[in-house]
Amino acid sequence: MREIVVIGGGASGLAVALETKKRGRDVLLIEREEDLGGILNQCIHNGFGLEVFEEEYTGPEYANKYIEEFLKLDIDYHLNTTVLKIEKTNNYFEITMSSKARGIEKIKAKAVVISTGSYERSRGSIIMPGERPYGVITAGSAQRYLNIDGYMVGKRVFILGSGDIGLIMARRMFLEGAKVLGVAEIMPYSNGLTRNIVQCLDDFDIPLYLSHTVTDVKSGESNRLESIVIQKVDENFNPIENTAKVFEVDTLLLSIGLIPDIALLDNLEVVVDSLTKSAKINQAYETSVRGLFICGNSLQVHDLVDNVTLESIRAGKCVSDYLEKKLEKNNESIDIIPGKNVGYVTPQVLDFSWSPKELIISFRGKKKMEKTKIKVFQNNELVFEKFKQFIVPAEMETIKLDYSKLNKFDELGISLEEL
């Protein structure tokens, strides 16, 4: 029986494994790829590490810092190993995993941490009219093909969605010689960081079409993408007539959002939040299943990897505490609810059987706001407030509050108010 099994060897899993190992726990990490580092390995651009290291690194460099420490601490791991199933029996978990080298294996653990990251929304998850030709792929897949495997998915490219991966890939494909004809964003503002608009699009004169979306896709004889049509949309996102523009392209990259990957929770009775599309957690990153923890992008999609690391270190500390103190549930808990202008919040539950001093709440605003007050209420009473110059949906916000003064019955509500 292992104490902790961490599933996923990206930024989150590495941080959890390091933190728990440093606290003297027994930990095994399982990674499905042949190398540690996760998605960071294909994010070869820079911009990582400013919060944690106060220096700017590329994705592989950022990953390498943790991988080196991980190897130095002699932490147990399995590579090329896919976890198929997690089951809970009484007081422990049974994990079924599979690898080419060793076939199907089962292990037991007292605690499990899900650090499986997120997956990209694909064409199926949005309504896009037209044919279904080759050449329509997610920006992240194209990034992997290019940066890891070394081949270009196309020569004339258009990008749907202005998320950071899309912007980064616009530049990347341009640099490798592709014609990048433009980026269409259905919202009136970009979902990416401003710096990526500047250094990925403006630097190379790649046009950004705000309030535009792809309304048709056409293929040629071999069912390869040949052209797309984009159209301007109104406030209700309906295409406006006579605004169609045609682009002859062989590739359409989709950068339309990430979704936490929680496929492994299927066999467990985990309560899911429809807003985060992941498990509901308490302030210790524990799901509704005792001993099952979740953090990183599989909990909520982050915009900065530094925050994944910091969150996962906190989760690692909580898992260690859990094993040390063998906490019993005492059923004293309250809900934390997203209120006005708040898109989602984690944790969703404040569980009084845990006793860390402070409560860290992460959330996203629903819209762009200026001069905003973040307010937390319990039973109509203001228990916390903080001023923020800007709130944008693209950036996750985090607040810390002391919960020793809260009552143990009424839910907490968090809202944003423009001054």
Measured from the CB atom, is 204 or 237 closer to other proteins? 204
**In the complex, least distance from residue 377 CB atom to other proteins, rounded to whole angstroms:** 30
**In the complex, least distance from residue 221 CB atom to other proteins, rounded to whole angstroms:** 31
Residue 256 has φ and ψ, to the nearest 5°, of -115, 25
Measured from the CB atom, is 28 or 225 closer to other proteins? 28
**In the complex, least distance from residue 34 CB atom to other proteins, rounded to whole angstroms:** 7
Q: Is the peptide bond before 393 cis (omega within 30 degrees of 0)?
A: no
Measured from the CB atom, is 122 or 199 closer to other proteins? 199
Measured from the CB atom, is 81 or 219 closer to other proteins? 81
Give the residues lining the site for other proteins (CB under 8 A): 28, 34-36, 41, 44-47, 50, 56-61, 64, 67, 71, 74-81, 99, 101-102, 146-150, 172, 175-176, 193-195, 197-199, 203, 303-304
Measured from the CB atom, is 144 or 373 closer to other proteins? 144
**Cα→Cα distances 101→98, 107, 231, 416, Å:** 9, 16, 51, 52
Residue 319 has φ and ψ, to the nearest 5°, of -60, -40
Residue 111's identity, in one-letter code, is A
Residue 347 has φ and ψ, to the nearest 5°, of -70, 160
Measured from the CB atom, is 51 or 131 closer to other proteins? 51
**In the complex, least distance from residue 163 CB atom to other proteins, rounded to whole angstroms:** 14
Measured from the CB atom, is 308 or 401 closer to other proteins? 308
Query: CA torsion sign, 123 to 128 to 130 to 135?
Result: negative
Instruction: Copy the structure tokens of residue 371.
Output: 């001069």
Which of 278, 406, 414, 416 shows the shortest CA–CA distance to 337?
414
**In the complex, least distance from residue 186 CB atom to other proteins, rounded to whole angstroms:** 22
Please give the Cα distance from 397 to 46 (Å, whole number): 22
**In the complex, least distance from residue 62 CB atom to other proteins, rounded to whole angstroms:** 9
Measured from the CB atom, is 26 or 417 closer to other proteins? 26
**In the complex, least distance from residue 218 CB atom to other proteins, rounded to whole angstroms:** 31
**In the complex, least distance from residue 42 CB atom to other proteins, rounded to whole angstroms:** 9
Euclidean distance between the first and final Cα of the chain, in Å? 55
Q: SS3 for 419? A: coil
Which residue in this structure is represented by tokens 């992941």?
278
Measured from the CB atom, is 76 or 418 closer to other proteins? 76
DSSP string, 297-343: GGTS--S-HHHHHHHHHHHHHHHHHHHHHTPPP---EEEEEE-TTEE
Asked if residues 94 and 106 have their Cβ atoms less than 8 Å apart, the reply is yes
**In the complex, least distance from residue 395 CB atom to other proteins, rounded to whole angstroms:** 9
Q: SS3 for 30? A: strand
Asked if residues 137 and 253 have their Cβ atoms less than 8 Å apart, the reply is yes
Which residue in this structure is represented by tokens 């056409």?
218
Which of 37, 29, 86 shows the shortest CA–CA distance to 60?
37
Measured from the CB atom, is 61 or 417 closer to other proteins? 61
**In the complex, least distance from residue 199 CB atom to other proteins, rounded to whole angstroms:** 5
Measured from the CB atom, is 253 or 262 closer to other proteins? 253
Which of 50, 48, 18 shows the shortest CA–CA distance to 36?
18
Instruction: Copy the structure tokens of residue 266.
Output: 């299927």
**In the complex, least distance from residue 44 CB atom to other proteins, rounded to whole angstroms:** 4
> 3-state SS string over 114-168?
ECCCEEECCHHHCCCCCCCCECEEEHHHHHHHHHHHCCCCCCEEEEECCCHHHHH
